[in-house]
Structures are given as C-alpha cells and as structure tokens.
C-alpha cells in the first residue's frame, strides 16, 4: 500500500467529509429510499431511482475516503523549517514575463485548489520547484507553454 502525503489540515477535511457522509447523508438517503418504496411500483418511481443513484454515489465516496485516509501520510507543516522547497512549503514566486507575484503552498493531490493557492505536489510547477531555494529560477512547461519564475521566498507556515 503506497502512502500518500497530505497536510494535517487536508487530512482533517477528509475526516469531516467522511463523518458527514456516514452520519448525515447515508441515513438521509436510506430514509428517502424507504419513503419512495411506500409509493408502490418501483419500476416507474423516479424518487426511488434518484435516491438509489444518490446512495450509490455516497457509498462510493465513503469507500474512496476510507482508502485515502488509510493511505495518508500526514505531514505536520508547522514542525518543518529550512530554505529548501519541499512538501508543505509556502512559496512566493514572480513570473519573469509579467512581473506578477503569486504565492502557493505545496499540498497533497486531494487538497489541491489552485484558486486558493494550494498546488498539488504532483503538478508540473510543484515538481519543478521541489529542491530549489529562494533566489533560484525555474522554468516549467505547462499545457499553456513554457513559463519562467523566480523564487522570492520559502516558508513553512
């Protein structure tokens, strides 16, 4: 079983979602199925079929979350330090073409959200940043073409 890195915040988020599905969503859909069954003919009962479909989604997501939680390698970023970029680092970059500054935190795949500045460690940009330090220059090939960045700051917060 391959361990997958995730921040402690990302791990807590998975646990909260799993708890919500098991304690709220699952009982709710079971109740909806029971109520739909009371309406009679199941072959033409849209409520029943919708509830069964939702139940399938919920059960699949529960299995998926349990698997991710069991394989999680939780990394407490607050215990990390140094000037070299690695998982959990918060990096300030400047785009060498546009002089636009941006800040990203390298996180696990399940918690990545580029709009929130959370960059998956498996992304092309993160892979090119890992192992570098402030002052280094990186060039990354993305689906939109090649981009060059200068690393301004590395922090672990």
Residues in the chain, pLDDT under 50: none
* Predicted pLDDT of residue 44: 75
* Predicted pLDDT of residue 144: 80
* Predicted pLDDT of residue 43: 72
Picking from 144, 154, 151, the residue whose alpha carbon sits closest to that of residue 124 is 144
* Predicted pLDDT of residue 153: 95
What's the residue count for the chain?
157
- Please say whether the structural domain 4-75 has been given the CATH code 3.20.20.100: no
Look up residue 101 and give its two tokens. Answer: 């500054």
C-alpha to C-alpha distance for 142 and 144, rounded to whole angstroms: 5
* Predicted pLDDT of residue 145: 85
Look up residue 15 and give its two tokens. Answer: 């646990």
Domain ranges of the chain: 4-75, 79-155
C-alpha to C-alpha distance for 42 and 148, rounded to whole angstroms: 59
- Please say whether the structural domain 79-155 has been given the CATH code 3.30.450.70: no
């Amino acid at each position: 079983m391959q361990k997958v890195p995730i921040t402690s915040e990302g791990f807590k988020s998975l646990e909260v979602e799993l708890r919500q599905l098991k304690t709220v969503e699952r009982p709710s859909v079971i109740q909806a199925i029971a109520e739909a069954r009371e309406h009679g003919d199941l072959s033409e009962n849209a409520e029943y079929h919708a509830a069964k479909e939702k139940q399938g989604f919920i059960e699949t997501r529960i299995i998926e979350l349990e698997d991710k939680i069991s394989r999680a390698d939780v990394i407490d970023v607050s215990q990390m330090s140094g000037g070299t970029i690695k998982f959990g680092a918060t990096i300030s970059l400047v785009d060498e073409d546009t002089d636009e500054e941006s800040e990203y935190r390298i996180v696990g795949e399940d918690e990545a959200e580029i709009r929130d500045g959370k960059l998956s460690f498996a992304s092309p940009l993160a892979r090119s940043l890992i192992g570098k330090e402030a002052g280094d220059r990186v060039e990354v090939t993305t689906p939109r073409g090649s981009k060059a960045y200068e690393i301004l700051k590395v922090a672990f917060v």
